[in-house]
Amino acid sequence: MIFRSALAAWVAAIGFAAPAQAAEGERVQITGEIIDTWCYFSGVMGFTDSVTGSAHHTCALWCSAGGIPVGLLGEDGEVYMVLKIEGDDQSASGDTQLKLASHEIVADGMLYKRDGLNYLVVEAVVEDRGITNLNHEDFGVVPPFAIPNPDK
């Protein structure tokens, strides 16, 4: 009996055979920058600081229009994958998220967590501060071909 109880506790502790649980939402207000998540996570264009802000603005437009998920890079360094903004569920190439590319916003909404990722349903953009991360001063433009040579 003691062994069975111990085994059951051990199994429960490690989550074996636990049924899938729907994530529970949490009301949050997050300040951060709307970013292009693929470049940020994959490192395909360089390290994380260079694929945000003004340096990466044109690429952020391309990626958002191209249907790559956008995220809200919070002041806490966490990335919140944006699934909906103010009723617009077009999270793959939608207009609402496109106009916010690289902008610093204050978002009020519901946070869901699952399998290591944060998912955010933005109910209201409380404040849109525009582009505040002027990192082109440090990194130029990323990728370099984003701004074509005006003389060609």
Partner 1 sequence: MKKLIAALALIATPLSAQDFSEGSNARSWNLYAEVPATFEATVVDLLCTVAGDCANECGTGRQLGLLRSADDVLVYPNKNRQTSFNGAAYDLHPYCGKLVDVDGLMIEDEDIPGATNIYLVQSIKEAGAEEWAKTNQWTKVWASLHPEAKGKGPWFRRDPRVNAFIEADGYLGLGLSHREAYEITR
Q: Look at residue 144 and give its three-state secondary structure.
A: helix
Binding mask 9-48 for partner 1 (x = CB under 8 A): --x--xxx---x-xx-x-----------xx-xxxxx---x
- In sequence order, the 6+-apart residues with CB closer than 8 A to the CB of 46 are 139, 142
Q: Which is nearer to partner 1, 29 or 132 (CB)?
A: 132
Binding to partner 1, residues 120-149 (CB under 8 A): 121, 130-131, 134, 136, 140-141, 146-149
Q: Rounded distance, CA 103 to CA 87, Å?
A: 19
What is the chain's percent helix, strand, coil content, to nearest 5?
Answer: 30, 30, 40
Residues in Cβ contact with 67 at an 8 Å cutoff, skipping those fewer than 6 apart: 92, 93
> For binding to partner 1 (CB under 8 A), which residues are involved?
7, 11, 14-16, 20, 22-23, 25, 37-38, 40-44, 48, 54-55, 57-59, 61-63, 65-69, 71, 77-79, 81, 83-84, 89-95, 98-99, 101-102, 110, 112, 114-119, 121, 130-131, 134, 136, 140-141, 146-150
